[in-house]
Structure 1
Amino acid sequence: MPLPEWVKTQLKGIKTTQKYFKHRNINTVCETLRCPNRTVCYKEPAATFMILGNICTRGCSFCNAEKGNPAFPDNKEPEKIAHAVNDLLLKYVVITSPTRDDLVDGGAEHFASTIMEIKKLNDNVLIEVLVPDFQGNKSSIEKVVNSCISVFAHNIETVRKLYGYVRKADYCRSLKVLESAKKINSEIITKSGFMLGLGETIEEVLQTLQDLNNAGCDIVTIGQYLQPSKRALPVVEYIKLEVFEEIAEFAFKTGFKIVLSGPLVRSSTRAYEIYSALKDGKYGKF
């Protein structure tokens, strides 16, 4: 059976963007992780770029990122990404990176340089950052917060009990990262997200939401953990749709301005749309 024209048009649009990233050796979360929502983002038009390579110094059990000793940051990368944003006429860009504990500032300067280069070519581009915890370094957090960004995001990823097993980090430190960003600039929009299906209880999920809200988090995203490869942790449970809805209802009542909850929700899902809604004062569940 031949593909309908509207499907062909969709695929053509996706492939054009895919080829652009591939030919210029630009690392994106959209393609590296084969995000199921990338067709939506490309149409917005938006994309999530991964800077500072694809090797992480942590080795979290849920993640498919390579673990090891990363290469030194590519000084030409900020300019290369800026040109990609300009060429693809992107309106909303998410910049993220693997954890780089090998760098004194955790990569904060590279984030700032990338943002500066994008703004140089088009000051109207909206930029969201999804940062690692920078080992709690406040000067690194401040450097990124003060870099002409629209949204500052740091994912809590899972409940407190599963830290050390699922995520190689510190739960309280992650909350402090969000809290610090808000203290540095009370007007900045802060965002976090976590996964379900790793063995957490509903009570632990609700406590995590309360902790994030207490840290001043404005937007929360909640999705289903899906095993990215055989070397990653297996899925403990597939969460029912009604549970995602119940959690979203609790989160909104807790005080979050925007809640995005569902099996295929990822950190950057509908990022441009929910940012625009928040700026227009349209709070709610998405």
Structure 2
Amino acid sequence: MASKNKSTAQQRKPDWLKVRLTASENFSEIRKMIRGKTLHTVCEEARCPNIYECWANRTATFMILGDICTRACRFCAVKTGMPTEPDLAEPERVAEAARQMELKHAVVTSVARDDLKDGGASVFAVTIKAIRKRNPMTSVEVLIPDFQGDWDALKVVMDARPDILNHNIETVRRRSDRVRSKAKYDRSLQLLQKAKEMQPDIPTKSSIMVGVGETFDEVVEAMQDLYDHQVNIVTIGQYLQPTKKHLKLECYYTPEEFAKWKEIGLNMGFSHVESGPLVRSSYHALEQVQSAQSKSEKKAQ
């Protein structure tokens, strides 16, 4: 099975990708709080289609280290340029926002900061500790960049012991250099493997977006690569072109194809597979953690 749909220039967005936009009271409250604390969320910066659902459910993915990325990945809507110096008070504001939102599971990501010696790893570590101090019952997931292969920087994050270490390969091997900027497919796999070697008990996670010129079988191969590098959780979602300047959307996959990937992934042995047109790396993150933990506990029995 392969990506087979006609050019997106000749087709409308399928019904299964149409999102009902409803700004609830929770949505408005969270947006006001985020802006009041001068924080950034990947929900807004990356134009996530699930923002209304997630914010209505009082969940959000915090984006630290500013909102300007040093890379220019062709799929990403986050601004590119030369960032400012890190805001040393930011971790405490994130922790306080997590407290006010009464989060059970906090997700923290960042722009790529290739201008910093450690790629921002120390700020991730401080943010993890700040969230834990104010929110002892909140689990913490970090979605990190590749730190340009600096394993000492990775160790700084792993030593802070996040509950989940997430790093996205984004796409299949053949399309990686075309889709991503500076990041390398094998380096990402190596990072995920290194994270597991450093802290074997911490689950690892990665994400694949589809619709950028890959085939169905190449996605399965990428899943196998992740499993072979001891990744526990994988998410698969449909790429949606942010603007005409971004990477061209090649095709839409059907819900049935996403369901098939999920079946294949679970049969491979992943502890959790979240696969669907609107799935993003942090979508239903708490449910992913709970599912992975449940399967891990069953294996240990």
TM-score under structure 1 normalisation?
0.92
* Higher RCO (Cα < 8 Å, 6 or more apart): 2
User: What residue in structure 1 maps to residue 84 of structure 2?
Assistant: 71
Q: 1:209 to 1:74 in 2, by over 3 A?
A: same
Q: Is the 8 A contact 1:157 1:193 kept in 2?
A: yes
Deviation at 1:37, TM superposition (A): 2.4
Deviation at 1:245, TM superposition (A): 1.3
* 1:221 maps onto 2:238 in alignment: no
Q: In the TM superposition, what whole-angstrom CA distance separates every residue of 1:135-180 from its partner, at most 9, and x where no partner exists?
A: 1111111111121311000000001111221112111000011000
TM-score under structure 2 normalisation?
0.87
Structure 1: unaligned runs, 5 residues or longer: 1-6
What one-letter code is carried by the residue in structure 1 that aligns with 2:192?
L
User: What residue in structure 1 maps to residue 249 of structure 2?
Assistant: 235
* 1:142 maps onto 2:155 in alignment: yes
* 1:52 maps onto 2:52 in alignment: no
- Show the 5 A alignment for 1:124-273: 124-168=137-181, 169-273=183-287
What one-letter code is carried by the residue in structure 1 that aligns with 2:234?
V
User: What residue in structure 1 maps to residue 96 of structure 2?
Assistant: 83
SS of aligned partner of 1:278 = helix
What one-letter code is carried by the residue in structure 2 that aligns with 1:17?
I
SS of aligned partner of 1:165 = helix
* 1:122 maps onto 2:135 in alignment: yes
User: What residue in structure 2 maps to residue 22 of structure 1?
Assistant: 35
Q: How well do the aligned residues superpose, as a CA RMSD in angstroms?
A: 1.9
The 4+ residue runs of structure 1 with deviation greater than 4 A are: none
Q: In the TM superposition, what whole-angstrom CA distance separates every residue of 1:220-274 from its partner, at most 9, and x where no partner exists?
A: 0000000012221121001112111111111111121100101100000000112
User: What residue in structure 2 maps to residue 4 of structure 1?
Assistant: none
SS of aligned partner of 1:41 = helix
Q: In the TM superposition, what whole-angstrom CA distance separates every residue of 1:183-216 from its partner, at most 9, and x where no partner exists?
A: 0011111000011000001221111011000010
For 1:46 and 1:150, the matched residues in 2 are separated by: 17
Q: Is the 8 A contact 1:40 1:270 kept in 2?
A: no
SS of aligned partner of 1:114 = helix
For 2:74 and 2:51, the matched residues in 1 are separated by: 24
User: What residue in structure 2 maps to residue 32 of structure 1?
Assistant: 45
Q: Is the 8 A contact 1:101 1:134 kept in 2?
A: yes
For 1:256 and 1:281, the matched residues in 2 are separated by: 9
For 2:237 and 2:95, the matched residues in 1 are separated by: 30
For 2:100 and 2:261, the matched residues in 1 are separated by: 40
Q: Is the 8 A contact 1:222 1:260 kept in 2?
A: yes
Q: Is the 8 A contact 2:192 2:231 kept in 1?
A: yes
SS of aligned partner of 1:156 = coil
Range moving further from structure 2, 196-205 or 261-270: 196-205
For 2:134 and 2:296, the matched residues in 1 are separated by: 30
* 1:96 maps onto 2:106 in alignment: no
What one-letter code is carried by the residue in structure 2 that aligns with 1:258?
H
The alignment of Structure 1 onto Structure 2 pairs a total of residues equal to 277
SS of aligned partner of 1:245 = helix
SS of aligned partner of 2:259 = helix
SS of aligned partner of 1:193 = strand
| % identity of equivalent residues | 45
For 1:55 and 1:209, the matched residues in 2 are separated by: 30
Structure 2: unaligned runs, 5 residues or longer: 1-19
SS of aligned partner of 1:269 = coil
Range moving further from structure 2, 272-281 or 232-241: 272-281
What one-letter code is carried by the residue in structure 2 that aligns with 1:281?
K
For 2:191 and 2:40, the matched residues in 1 are separated by: 25
Q: Is the 8 A contact 1:45 1:91 kept in 2?
A: no
Q: Is the 8 A contact 2:26 2:58 kept in 1?
A: no
